[in-house]
Each structure stands twice: as C-alpha cells, then as structure tokens.
Amino acid sequence: MIQKSVNLNELKEHINSFLEKEIYKNKNIECCPICGGKKHIKYGSYKGIQRYKCKKCERTFSNTTNSLWSYSKKDLNKWIKFVELMIKRKSLRFCAAKLKISLGTAFYWRHKILHGLKVDSIPNKLEGAVHINKTIVVENFKGCRNITTTKRSNIWIIAAKGDEDSMLVLPAFKDCWMRGIFYEKVYSKIQKGSYIVPYNDRYITAIAKEHNKKSLKERKEDDRVGYIMMNIMRWFSPYKGIATKYLEEYLSFFVLFNLDKMIDYVDIISYLSFGEKFIRTKDIGLKNK
C-alpha cells in the first residue's frame, strides 16, 4: 500500500541522500546495457555521473542508462516531484502547471512511469488460498483519433491474489469468456496444492470446482478481490476515463495501493531509477496500434 503521509522536508533529505549514494556515486557495472558485452572502460563523466565505453560495440553508457529518465533533458528533481504528484493522483494539468512543463510532457512522463512500474508488477506464481474475481468495463477510446467504429467491446478484467503480498489484475479478454487465455494468463501461475476461492462468476466457479475437487477449506474472503469492481471504479474516478490501450499500465499502478507492505515515495523512485524501465516517447504513442 502506498504510504501517503510523508513529511516533504524529510522526503527531500531522503531523496538527496539516495541520489548521492546510488546514482551519482560510482558503482560496479557488470555488462554493457546496449549489447551485453562484459568488457568496458571508464569514459569520463557527465554532471557527476560516471560514463563508460563498451569495447565490443564501442557505445558509451552510464550508471543511469535505460533508467526511467534516460535521455531526458529535464532536471531530475522535476521527475522526482512528478512521481510524488502522480502518487497523489493529481491531474496532468495540475502537474504541468506545478512543475512548469507542457501538458504533453506531463502525459508522456505519466506513461513512462506507468510503464516502469508495470515491468515487474505481474507475480510469477499464486499459491495458498487464491482469490479470483472478474469485472467488466466498456472499451474506452479516450485520446484516439480517427475512430472508425461506434462499437465498444466489453473488457474482462481478472483479479487474483494468493497468500503472497502481490496481486494480479489485468485486462484478460474482450466481449466473452476465453478459457484458453484464462489458463495461459492466470491459471498457469496457480501452484499445485493451492485452493481457489471464486467470487460470483460461473466460469471461475467451474474452474475452482475442477481444481479444488473434493478439497474443502474455510472460505475467508478478501475484500480487495471480492469488491474488485467497486475498488477499481473508485480508484479510477480521478482520471475521468482511461483509454483501454493503457488499461494494463493503470491496473499495475492500482495494485501498489492494494498491497500489505507500506511503500513510500523513496521506494518507488529507487525502483524506477534502475533496471530496464526506459521506454521511448514514440513507442508510447504507437502502443497497441
């Protein structure tokens, strides 16, 4: 769960300490993030960040290559403040005015962050008492141009949570139940010996009976899954509609607010600063076309 009550002065001290310790300080680089080559040399620095040159592809890179804000010309502090405002679910217009950036920049920054948070958000397994529910939302074309159809499909969102502190919430299929896709995206993650707890859906209930067989266990409901429709609708309301092509990213963000572990701003900034979190602006615009 996102920890919202953070003293801002204390936050700034943590961020400055984090940046100094983890980004601007030299650290061991195992391989080239561009080609995977193991041999590289130090190649100067830029704004206090150590740079390297790969001996295999002869490309240069730094400690922050492929991080969320790679290639950004904006000050890193603005990114950090934007993350803070985004976690508070402030509107794009509010963020743009507050940070003195364009509305377009605010839009792309939000989707870069959503992409970064999505990268490792889907759990690899579901075990123990696995609660599964579904809700249906109508396809949304917000922001799309040149729409040639008036038909809007029903998008089936599947929510599943086991005993581990993670949660699977994703748009699984359109219009009707698809057993094959459910098995691929959800059931394949359920471990042997787990017990499925279904919620008011005949398809999920049928799979639960088949999986559980004669095993009977006490049913302890989880409101995060049991009331998934109400929870999603309430959480989505500040966004005034979400385009279906970005729905999976927003659902990954939604999951952070439904974990048992308390997560603060510094945890999220730390996560976004390392690893393969980068996505090019043009790839956001081309998503799902």
Choose between 1 and 101: higher pLDDT: 101
- Per-residue pLDDT, averaged over 218-246, amounts to 90
The rounded distance, in Å, linking the Cα atoms of 121 and 271 is 11
Same domain flag for 231 and 189 = yes
Cα distance between residue 197 and residue 71, in whole Å: 46
Strand ordering across the sheet containing 60-62: 40-46, 49-54, 60-62
Q: Are residues 215 and 114 in the same domain?
A: no
Number of structural domains (the chain) is 2
Which range (10-24, 39-53, 55-69) has the least confidence? 10-24
**Share above pLDDT 70 across residues of the chain, in percent, rounded to a whole number:** 84
- Structural domain of residue 108, as residue ranges? 1-17+70-118+265-289
- Residues 172, 253, single domain; the answer is yes
Which token pair is 147? 């729409």
Residue 51 covered by a domain:
no
Mean pLDDT over 260-282 rounds to 73
State whether 134 and 104 are in the same domain.
no
**β 168-174/60-62 pair status:** unpaired
Q: Is the predicted pLDDT of residue 157 greater than 90, yes or no?
A: yes
> Which residue intervals of the chain are DSSP H helices?
8-18, 76-87, 92-99, 103-118, 179-185, 202-212, 223-226, 228-236, 247-256, 265-273, 281-285
Non-local CB neighbours of 256 within 8 Å, separated by 6+ positions: 1, 2, 117, 263, 268
pLDDT reading at 203 higher than 90 = yes
Give yes or no: residues 245 and 185 share one domain.
yes
Average pLDDT across the chain, whole number: 83
Is residue 104 located within the same domain as residue 152?
A: no
Q: Is the confidence at residue 246, as pLDDT, over 60?
A: yes
Whether the predicted pLDDT of 142 surpasses 60: yes
pLDDT of amino acid 231: 95
The predicted model gives 35-40 an average pLDDT of 88
Q: Compute CA distances 264 → 10, 76, 112, 171, whole Å.
A: 12, 18, 19, 27
**Residues 136, 230 share a domain:** yes
Q: Kindly state whether residue 47 falls inside one of the protein's structural domains.
A: no
142 and 226 fall within a common domain:
yes
Quickly state the pLDDT bin for 133 (edges 50, 70, 90): very high
Residue type, 88: K
Q: Does 38 reside within a domain?
A: no
Question: Between 94 and 278, where is the model more confident?
Answer: 94
Q: Is 85:95 a contact under the CB 8 Å cutoff?
A: yes
Q: Does residue 178 sit in the same domain as residue 84?
A: no
For residue 17, what pLDDT is reported? Answer: 54
Q: Average pLDDT in the 12-16 region?
A: 58
For residues 66-76, average pLDDT: 76
Q: Is residue 253 part of a domain?
A: yes
Are 166 and 230 part of one and the same domain? yes
Q: Within 10 Å of residue 17's Cβ, how many Cβ atoms?
A: 11
- Within a domain: 282: yes
> Are residues 235 and 157 both part of a single domain?
yes
46 by Cβ neighbours in 10 Å (0-12 / 13-18 / 19+) ranks as exposed
Mean pLDDT of 67-91: 82
The yes-or-no verdict on residue 11 having pLDDT over 60 is: no
206 occurs within a structural domain: yes
Tell me: pLDDT of 218 over 80: no
| Average pLDDT score over residue span 21-41 | 74
* Tokens describing residue 120: 């490792």
Q: What is the pLDDT of residue 217?
A: 66
Share of the chain above pLDDT 90, in %: 43
C-alpha dist (Å) from residue 120 to 124, 203, 277: 9, 28, 10
Residue 288 pLDDT greater than 50, yes or no: no
Structure tokens at 283: 């790839």
Does the residue 55 lie in any domain?
Answer: no
Is pLDDT above 90 for 160?
Answer: yes
Euclidean distance between the first and the last CA atom of the chain, given in angstroms as a whole number: 33
* Position 100 in a domain: yes
Could you tell me if 180 and 282 lie in one domain? no
Please state the rounded mean pLDDT for residues 161-181. Answer: 93
